[in-house]
Amino acid sequence: MPDTLIRSEPRHTERAVGGTTVVELRGEIDILTALPLGARLDDLTAAVHPDLVLDLRAVSFIDCAGLRLLCRAYNRVMERHGRLRLVTDSARFLRVLSGAGLDGVFQRYDRLPEDLAAMPARCPSAAGRPTSP
């Protein structure tokens, strides 16, 4: 009998708060789940000046395909002079970002404030910009 792998499929919810789209992600973001999620993030980052907040607090696992997805969204947002902010309080995720050389690239917050305008904007330097497509 073959082993059956039970996977947590990523689910997400979206909501608009003013001109900001908040995407709350849950589950695993890996090579099997990144493609459909990437298609949705491409849609959300297609406009001029996209303003996107990715809430990753309920993400249980992320691999290099998930990191590539985040870098792609970041690059698309920067090309369109928008903003991308990550919300996570996971020390494990922060270690993954650091190990990949991505710490300091993304605007990151520990929690999602009720007032998104309270999340200050900063312009990341081009030197810290991810290069993954």
Alpha helices for the chain (secondary structure H): 34-44, 64-79, 91-99
Residues 6+ apart with CB under 8 A from 107: 83, 84, 85, 86, 119, 121, 122, 124
Q: What's the whole-model pTM score?
A: 0.82
Q: Residue 96 falls within a domain, yes or no?
A: yes
Query: pLDDT (tens digit, 9 = 90+) per residue, 74-132?
Result: 999 999 999 999 999 999 999 999 999 998 999 999 998 777 766 665 444 333 445 44
d(CA 125, CA 68): 19
CATH of the domain at 63: 3.30.750.24
Domain that holds residue 87: 11-128
Q: Residue 62 falls within a domain, yes or no?
A: yes
- For the chain, the domain total comes to 1
Q: Residue 6 falls within a domain, yes or no?
A: no
Q: Residue 5 falls within a domain, yes or no?
A: no
Query: pLDDT (tens digit, 9 = 90+) per residue, 3-59?
Result: 555 555 667 899 998 889 999 999 999 999 999 999 999 999 999 999 999 999 999
